[in-house]
Each structure stands twice: as C-alpha cells, then as structure tokens.
Structure 1
Amino acid sequence: MKRKLALFLTAALAIGTLAGCGKEKEPIKIASKPMTEQYVLTEILGQLIENDLGVPVEITKGIGGGTTNIQPALLKGDFDLYPEYTGTSWMTVLKHEKEDDSDVLYENLQKEYNDMGLTWSGLYGFQNSYVLAVRKEAADTYGLETFSDLAAASENLIFGGNPDYMEREDGYPMICEAYGMNFKGTVDVDIALKYQAMANKEIDVTNAFTTDAQLAAADVKLLQDDKSLFATYYAGTVVRTDTLEKYPGLADTLEKLTGQISDDEMRNMNYQVEVESKDEKEVAKAFLIEKGLIKK
C-alpha cells in the first residue's frame, strides 16, 4: 500500500512538473499584415525568439486590414507582438499630423505607446516609405538626385503610375503641386507592370515604396524627397509590455535586430520571395545565419 501511494505521489509530481513546463512554454503570438515584407519579418522574429529563448512562437500571417485590426487585437492580448512602421503608428494609430523629425517622432511614439502598455523595441534600420523611381538612363541624362531636380526636368519625362495613385489627392496631384512638376505625359500602369514599363522605356518615372521587391533588379534610381513631403516609415517591433515581463530575455532578443536590416537587404529578401518564389522561412533563416544571429 505504501509502495502504491509513493508511486502515485511520484506520478502526480511528474504530471505537475510537466504541466508547469507546459505553462512556461506557452507560445509567443506574432501577427503580420498581408504583405510579403511582413511575412519575412515575422519569420525573422519568430526564428530568433525560438533560437534564443527556446519558446515556441505562433505566427498569424496576412491579417486583413493590417494595423486597423492588429492594433486592437494586440491591446486585447490576442497577439504579443508584430512588425510596424513609425509613420503608420504616428498617424494611423495615434491620429497625429505628420512629423518631419524622425527622432522626435520616435521619442514621442515610445512615450505614447508605453501609456497603452506597449513597447517599441528598436528599429530594424530600413524604412518602407513612398518614393519616386526614375529610369537610371534618364536620371543620368538629367543629373537627377532629388524630387526638385525631377521637377526641373519633368517636361521631358513621362510619369507612369497605378490608377489609384494617379487619382488620389495625396498621390500624383500632391507631388506635382508641392514640387511644381509638369510632366510631358502620364500613363496609367498596373502596379505589377510598372518596372517592366520602365525597362521598355514606355515611362520614365513611377511611384514606389523604398523596399519594393522589383527595385532589387530594376535599373532605376530612387530620388530624395528633399522637401520631406512624405512621412517616414521606419520599421520596428511593437510588443506588449507584459509579454516582455513574462518572458525574460525577450527584450534583449528583439533589440538584436536594431539596425540590422538595410533598405537594400529588405528589398532583396522581398525579391527572393515574390520573384524567385523562395519560402519566406528559408529566406529569414538565411538572413539570420548571415548576420550571425543564429547558427546553421
């Protein structure tokens, strides 16, 4: 009888220990917006966390509505963290007007997010902002470096953009008015065909994002927005503060990505997934190995 009781107590303790371990191993839940870049970033975050902390992660990719739906879900505790952009947080979440000084923006962003129980954990190094791309040949011919340079040469060039951008008040009409651009002609081009149209010399200039996958291979030049017309969209991690408290070491792990990803590197990873059809998990793993953040 005593032997049976002892065995029972031992088994009970073992089950209790396993249950406790299971509780400690509760997965960290990561969310992403519906775009390639975010799929890659969440894989980078997830693999790094699993490597450093030995904690499983649960990634939910492609949440419709992006920030609009992820932010409230994060506040509710449905997710623990996700990649976000400073300009989006500042203007879409906090409803502030554009702030041209990125340092001031980030400092105030951190304060207001802390008040919500959220933490901005560093910046990866790249930003996904609006920009204008010009055929390299045309940029060299007219010595184009800035939007103002483009304005001076615009009467010799053709602008091609997706219909939505051409019609939006904060799109083509805004840049033309702000910089005094007067292009020789304009063409509506499907968003997926813009860079092919440039390669065929059907258009000279188009709207782009700084980390567009196609830019990794296109023979184009990105111009500087010298009047700071567009907001800055530096990428970083937004994480629940109580999640940082729950998982010691998580803050240090997230900070390892600070300054690690350049615009070119993000473009290249997007290109590998979108154009070369590589799996984002493998692209993320290769990046982490190259940076020495995980071992093979």
Structure 2
Amino acid sequence: MENISKKIYEVLEESCNSCKSNLISLSGGLDSSIIAYFLKEKNPRSVAIISEDFVSTDLTYCQMISKEMKIPLSIYNVPTSIILDAIDNTIKILKNFNDIEIRNNVVMYLAMKWAKENNEKSIITGDGADELFAGYNFLINKPEKELENEIKRLCSIMHFPTQKIGKALGIEIESPFLNQNMIELANQIPTNVKVKEENGKRYGKWILRKTFEKYIPHQIAWREKSPMQEGAGTVGLTNLFESIISEESYVERKLTVEKEDGVVIRSRESMYYYKIFKKMFGSPVDNNSQETCPYCKHEVKNSKFCRMCGAFPI
C-alpha cells in the first residue's frame, strides 16, 4: 500500500504543479483540499460558493483548509434570487432539465461567474476523483466485483459539465485528477483500496484519504462525501420549489406536459427547470432513437442515468 500511496502522491504533485491557474474552487472536501495542499507554495487564491438562504455544509471545512494552508479564501454568499438567475444560465449551457445536475452545477456556474467578474481567466477543480477512486456514496456497499465493474462503467462515461460552463463563460478549467497519468494510475489501483473500512466504517476514496491524512486536517481527510448541492446549500432548492408550487398547480401542469409533450415530470423542481428548458430548446423527445428514457423520451446510450431529466435508474 505504501508504494501505491507514494505513486499517487508523486503523480498528483506533478499534475497539480502543472496547473497554470491561480484560483482554486475550494469546497473543503477531500479533493479540493489535496489540490490546495500541493499548490499552497504558489500562493493561490480560492473561492467557495455558499447559499445565503439555505443550509450548507462546506463553510466550516473550506475555512479550515484555507487557514491550514494559508490560502486566501473568498466566500461568495449567494442569495436565492441570484441562484435562480444562475439556474436559467446553467440550463442554457447544459441544455437539460436534470435536477441533480443543475443543483450541483449551478454552484460551478456561480464560481466561474465570480472568477470572471474578478478578472480570473481559469479555475482549478477536483473533477474526476470520485469517478476514479469510487467516491460516490452509492458505490460504498457494493460487492467488490460489482464495484470494480461499476467504476469501469463510470470512468467510461464520465463527463464534467464544468467544462461546458467554463467554455461558455470563457474560463479555462484545470482538473489535476483528470491528468492522463493520474487516470492511468487510478485504473491500475485495486478496487479493495478504493473502498475500504476504516475504524468500523466503509469509505470511498479510501486510498486517497489514507495517503493524505498526514498532510491535510484529519476532519477533512475523513469527511464523508458531500455533493456540491449539499456543500453549497443548493439542495435547499428542492424544498423551495415544493413550497412555492402548489400541489394543484403541479398536478395540472404535470398532466398538461404529459399530454402535450409526452414527457413525465417527476417533481416540482423538475417542473420548474423543464419550463425554462422548453422555452429555450423545445421538447426533449427524440423520436428517432430506439433507446430512450421512459420519462422524457430523450435518447440514452448504455446508461442507467438520463442526463436530460435526471431519471435514475432507467
């Protein structure tokens, strides 16, 4: 295991040091904290997106890593009105009404918008670590062989909306975990050290945590996976839409959309996003494909997840 950790350290160090950007998207999670550790000598800046009106989990952790690494941190406290405006632009860029993807990536949209407004031309993200090292919570309790196959599947279809958002805003995205040497190394690492028990609890990204627990605060090294939507607080959008769209209005609009568009809307939040999407792009229904999502009728290829509407499993 020491050899694996040594190699991970070396490859990530080289990958991080090759980054030209001076700005880190800092959540205080494992991945961005590792990046902060390697780049601290370059005196970078960092930014964290925190919802002003919803509960967020990142604030304490990103402040902790900022203090530990002596990296200046700008906290962008975002009111709901700005988040809702950003949702329109995120949907315009991503061209879907996928509630999970929008809740998560509106955070990155806001980070890149902040970067642009503060004259930054690029930003560093932790994209790729969850796919390569089994960071997602739904992977943790899978049997080893199934886990191995699922990691391979995820890595074969992984895509990062941050790239699309960055391109749209003119911000270059640098992702050290997606360096080709890092990808090749991760593919060689045994599954049983990607997910493993520590102090009676199973963790994804175990080998990353173990490798860097001596370099970053222990609370961060062993922090549970927290999606961007929880860290920044945009998960609160779900309850917001539940409260502002009445049951009667939702049911009426749901039936209308199903009748007129052939699209099954699964939540009030999806309804809100779908209305924006349809105004911009029209119907998502793909009549020419043999493999389509049972809900939105958009094409899906070799996936249990519909990127258009967010349905899972399909």
Please identify which structure carries the higher helix content: 2
TM range (shorter): under 0.3
Q: Normalising by structure 2, what TM-score? A: 0.26
